[in-house]
Structure 1
Amino acid sequence: MAFQPSRLGTKEHWDKVYEEELANFREIGDEGEIWFGEESVDKMVEWTEENTPPSDELSVLEIGSGNGTLLFALVEAGYSRKCLSGIDYSPDAVSLSRAIASSREMQDIQFNVCDFLTEEPPVLPKMTGDTSNNWDLLLDKGTYDAIALGEKDDGGNTPVSRYPTRAARLIKPGGYFLITSCNFTEDELKEVFDTSETGLRYHSRIQHPTFSFGGKSGSIVSSVAFRKL
């Protein structure tokens, strides 16, 4: 599916969003919006527990971690803080997640400013070498959606076209990629990520509440997991 460029696909928009959320947290302790709601977070955590149970050997990277909600939920589910890393291209998003982590005594979670499409995510202290083939699990909750709304280049390609291969090369053989999207269906996500170029194969899906309209049924969000060959 092709989308028209939108302000939701610009760094300026997200910088403004997190500037306001950071100010609110500092003033009144409001941790900010939970994208797609708490239920989607809970379902992603449940999937993670079933497929990559807590272990000190795990390495988990969230792409576009925002205020850190998903990673905090993993800690509450028993995952080691030292195994978790979040990146975001908005400095105030990282400042917000670090501030919330400090307030929850979860400072060991690694949050860093990083533009996933152009920069290498920092490794965890326990990891060696570069980030290629180093992560057991990559998580995305809405970031792919936002990137898909970015401005097209001179060739008519959106920035999101670079996403699948950049994500895939970070994952260990046998590792997983779990994505939740509100703009793409399960079939559309399969078409983009389950390819010979990425080396990812469809693994499973998360069942979300469905709705019916005009004789068709669907979900507000889609969560799909892929595994690297």
Structure 2
Amino acid sequence: MEDTTKLNKSKLGTKEYWDEFYALEKNNFENNPEDTGECWFDDNDAEAKMVSFLEDNIGMHHIEHGCSICDLGTGNGHLLFELVESGFNGPMLGVDYSEQSIEFAKEVAQTKGLPVEFSAKDIFDEFWTPSKFDLVLDKGTLDAIALSGLTRENGKSLVELYSQVVEKLLVKGGVFLITSCNFTESELIKIIQTENLKVWNKINYPSFSFGGVQGTAICSIAFVKLS
């Protein structure tokens, strides 16, 4: 049976593409401070739904307004900024392998006076020893990683290694909330779930029917780290 979690390579999976993209967004922002960049999955209201999901689950696991948060593949930092505006006030870190995206996000944070930290990191670097967080977020990052087609020396793809990165970042009882437009719920679960990282909840989106099959254009799943 074909492995549907393997996607064809695309320029959207390259660092060069994102460096150029965020250099342009940074330039646009410098010319117009109201232009803080693109909000990915805005058509599906995904970012607002992720924020609402977290607000609705305050008190569950480690989700609190003061919880520590890491946003993987943060891009322009838009999701973290929205969380600040919604009352989340714990330490926040946005990481991205695109230095241009981090420069842009830092500039927005400084200009807007938002207390969010950003760092340019390769999350698959085995020598990266990050702090642990109560909450880890992903909005389209795994999608981009899957389009890179990259593997490590052991032959494993970055997609196969992704759950290890997430586990390394989470405290016991911490939550990983991921939103994807390239993978179905069952595919995401296949990629992310391990013995120590289990499905906890999900966000509901409007469904559609095509060829007699029900589905959604996007999905968001929350996982909890057991130990």
How far did 1:155 drift? Answer: 6.8
1:127 match: none
Matches of 1:211 and 1:18, distance apart in 2: 33
Matches of 2:125 and 2:8, distance apart in 1: 22
Query: What TM-score, normalized by structure 1, do the two folds share?
Result: 0.87
Would you say 1:190 and 2:189 are equivalent positions? yes
Unaligned runs of 5+ in 1: 122-129
2:134 match: 136
Q: How does 1:101-116 map to 2 (within 5 A)?
A: 101-106=109-114, 108-116=115-123
Query: What TM-score, normalized by structure 2, do the two folds share?
Result: 0.88
2:42 match: 37
2:16 match: 12
Q: Give aligned-pair identity as a percent.
A: 41
Matches of 2:100 and 2:199, distance apart in 1: 34
Matches of 1:164 and 1:118, distance apart in 2: 14
1:11-39 Cα deviation digits (max 9, x unpaired): 11111111111111111232111110171
Aligned partner letter, 1:60: I
Unaligned runs of 5+ in 2: none
2:99 to 91, 98, 101: 91
Matches of 1:186 and 1:43, distance apart in 2: 16
Matches of 2:136 and 2:73, distance apart in 1: 11
Q: Contact 2:96–2:120 at 8 Å: present in 1 too?
A: yes
Matches of 1:12 and 1:146, distance apart in 2: 13
RMSD: 1.9
Q: How does 1:1-229 map to 2 (within 5 A)?
A: 1-29=5-33, 30-37=35-42, 39-52=45-58, 53-56=63-66, 58-80=67-89, 82-106=90-114, 108-118=115-125, 131=130, 134-153=132-151, 157-196=156-195, 199-229=196-226
Matches of 2:123 and 2:155, distance apart in 1: 20
How far did 1:120 drift? Answer: 6.3
